[in-house]
Amino acid sequence: MRFVVTGAAGFIGSHVSEALLARGDDVVAVDCFTDYYDPREKEENASGFPVLRLDLAGDDLDLDGVDGVFHLAGQPGVRSFGEAFPLYLRRNVLASQRVFQSAAEAGVRVVLASSSSVYGEAERYPTPEDARAEPISPYGITKLACEQLAHAYATGFGLDAIGLRYFTVYGPRQRPDMFFRRVCDLLLSAGTFEIFGTGDQSRSFTEVSDVVSATIAAMEGASAGVIYNVGGGEEASMLGAIALLEQISGRTLDVRHVDRARGDVARTKADVSRIRDALGWEPSISLADGLERMWAWASARVAAR
């Protein structure tokens, strides 16, 4: 099979690309190496395969002979108010609209990376897909817009699209702005970690290899138009997760509390029964095992410098 992976030099996209290549698929890896974080990290992520440099918000995507598109390109991060917002519109909404247009014309399935951020402060926990979507960050709003655009293209042009709402993904190559990555880097450099708010916020942390298997399973087995939560089985608080990483690393983190960031929700907890019932997927990596893997990657990376 031949697949396009957008955002292939990013954290999740590089893992999806490698998994497809490892099983013998052809991969057209697409990325424009935005400078949201150091593009040299993206070069490292994608060192195992060639990447086509396209800006999906402006350049055309050729889907001739392609069996499916994993659309993982985007502008992540919930701190998206103010001057950053146009980038969220361009890299999430405009880029996705153009991908959907091309995919609808070519009759190619799209699996879209959406986010638990669409729920905002969720109306119930664990949160099922039919819970009210009421994002509290501009980022979440653009992700919800992408889902709804996919639905509009499905209705108007027969687009075959699946939406996956990822819940806080972690593991090797996690973005440097994300919580576990910052904790690992500061444990390694003996720096001070600024935690937003009390640290009691909790998340359904999801290991990246579980995300990869859910994403490929959705391409292969999901019904058109479905939305699935993809979330880890264990909920942990930020402070609880720091304690676990301290235990794994044998180091102590200096923590300072700063004001809670706007757009950050207090809790996420995924109800994954829909994807479990339909595709037989459920998270398989415990937080302790996942953090062992992540710590091994982060410390080896620093040691190699």
Q: Tell how far CA 74 is from the center of its chain.
A: 9
Name 71's bridge partners: 6, 112
Q: Does 69 bind ligand NAD (CB under 6 A)?
A: no
Q: Does 202 bind ligand NAD (CB under 6 A)?
A: no
**Token representation of residue 83:** 């001057």
Q: Does 12 bind ligand NAD (CB under 6 A)?
A: yes
Q: Does 93 bind ligand NAD (CB under 6 A)?
A: no
Q: Does 183 bind ligand NAD (CB under 6 A)?
A: no
Could you say which of 33, 49, 81, 85 contacts ligand NAD (CB under 6 A)? 33
Q: Does 181 bind ligand NAD (CB under 6 A)?
A: no
Could you say which of 16, 19, 95, 227 contacts ligand NAD (CB under 6 A)? 95
Backbone φ and ψ of 7, nearest 5°: 70, 30
Q: Does 166 bind ligand NAD (CB under 6 A)?
A: yes
Indicate the SS3 state at residue 191. coil
Nearest 5°: the CA angle 262, 119, 117 is 55
Q: Whose CB is nearest to ligand NAD?
A: 10
Q: Does 204 bind ligand NAD (CB under 6 A)?
A: no
Indicate the SS3 state at residue 165. strand
d(CA 72, CA 150): 14
Q: Does 32 bind ligand NAD (CB under 6 A)?
A: yes
Q: Does 238 bind ligand NAD (CB under 6 A)?
A: no
Indicate the SS3 state at residue 240. helix
Q: 265 with 131: CB under 8 angstroms? A: no
DSSP-assigned states of every residue in 213-227: HHHHHHHHHPPTT-E
Confirm whether 119 is a catalytic residue: no
Q: Considering only the stretches 28-36, 103-111, 235-243, 258-266, report the one whose residues sit in contact with ligand NAD under the rule CB under 6 A.
A: 28-36
Q: Which helix (H) or strand (E) holds 21?
A: helix 11-22
DSSP state of 90: I
In the stretch 99-128, what mask flags binding to ligand NAD with x, by CB under 6 A?
--------------x-x-------------
Residues making contact with ligand NAD (CB under 6 A): 6-7, 9-13, 30-34, 36, 42, 54-57, 72-76, 91, 95, 113, 115, 166, 168-169, 175
Active-site residue numbers?
Answer: 139
